[in-house]
Homo-oligomer: A and B are copies of this chain.
Amino acid sequence: MTITVAVDAMGGDVGLKVTVPASIRFLQDTPHVHLILVGDEVAIQEELVRLRAPQERIRVQAASEVVGMDEAPQSALKNKKDSSMRVAINLVKEGQAQAAVSAGNTGALMATARFVLKTIPGIDRPAIAKLMPNMKGLSCVLDLGANVDSSPEQLLQFGIMGAELVSCVLGKTNPTVGLLNIGSEDIKGNETAKQAAELFKESELNFHGNVEGNDIYKGTVDVIVTDGFTGNVALKASEGLAKMIATFLREEFTRSWWTRLCALAAMPVLNRFRERADTRRYNGASLLGLRGIVVKSHGGADVTGFRFALAQAYEEASSNVIGNIADRVADQLQNLKRPESSSTE
């Protein structure tokens, strides 16, 4: 099957100068993919010529507007009907593309994607999911900020979606699912978390039980489910800490000519470490629960980072994540017995 990815070429802190070169590199690496670059046609064409892009498997789709990085989602939805973001999502809706990727404003992207694509039947609200590195490999964490409050039923839907993402993209059968909480015991946590645990137990998911913040990086489970408020704070705190540690390490190695010499000696090792801990490799969060694939790149992503977001979209499209989620939701939600009152006491 040919996969076509629609790229919001204007989105992100940098825009064209990142999205176009990343698209070209991705095209060169990935034999069968087709790309549609959406945005300012003249500027994109200029950039393609400048970079001597191949003529095949890539085309430009004009869009006259750009959603601002700080623009209110509702304003983007109402007033920017010809934005590069919206046109890219329209291409998915129309079946011209199997996935859209944008480094633009998260809130506007979510609002637009939800409005244009609608949610999968049985899914109340989409969630933002990300494959994050841990000691053993990768795990899917969701929701990372699409929803500030989530009901136990919504958390269960997140669990189902995350499990399908892991099954499809990482090829794991029957992945384990954990519910993020402040203690591994059943009695811990707030009411929503407790009720959600009951629902998870009765579902067909491979439910591991409650997990704690450190389990994200321990690799205790394949899927970690939480509400968007907690998930967003955990993700951003992690980003902040990683940056601080990198800064400390750099500061120590550049303190004097002597420490610079040490750094030089250790360079091959430091480079391998840097590569391994490179957050750009994990760029690309999925807006799960929509009737189409939409991947959000970090707004500040560089060429390497944006290329990984394109790859994430491609993987999801090739492995038919949406179809699998839809089937699983239909199955599991139909079969799901609601908890008897006695079992929640």
Give residues in A with beta carbon < 8 Å to B.
133-135, 145, 148-149, 180, 182, 188-191, 193, 212-218, 226, 228-230, 232-245, 247-249, 252-253, 255, 259, 262-263, 265-266, 268-270, 272-273, 276-277
Q: How many copies of this chain does one complex carry?
A: 2
Asked whether, in the complex, the Cβ of B269 is within 8 Å of the Cβ of A233, the reply is no
Q: Which residue of B has the minimal Cβ distance to A268?
A: B262
Task: Report the minimal beta-carbon distance from A190 to chain B, rounded to whole angstroms.
Answer: 4
Task: Report the minimal beta-carbon distance from A282 to chain B, rounded to whole angstroms.
Answer: 12
Q: Which residue of B has the minimal Cβ distance to A264?
A: B265
Main secondary structure of the interface of A (DSSP, over half): helix
CB neighbours (8 Å) of A230 from chain B are 229-230, 233
Asked whether, in the complex, the Cβ of B214 is within 8 Å of the Cβ of A236, the reply is yes
- A262 to B190: give the CA distance in the assembly, Å: 49
Asked whether, in the complex, the Cβ of A252 is within 8 Å of the Cβ of B272, the reply is yes
CB neighbours (8 Å) of A272 from chain B are 252, 255
CB neighbours (8 Å) of A237 from chain B are 213-214, 216-217, 234, 237-238
CB neighbours (8 Å) of A269 from chain B are 252-253, 255, 259, 262-263, 266
CB neighbours (8 Å) of A229 from chain B are 182, 189-190, 193, 230
CB neighbours (8 Å) of A191 from chain B are 149
Specify which of B193, B232, B248, B255 is in contact with A213 (CB 8 Å cutoff): B232
Asked whether, in the complex, the Cβ of A241 is within 8 Å of the Cβ of B265, the reply is no
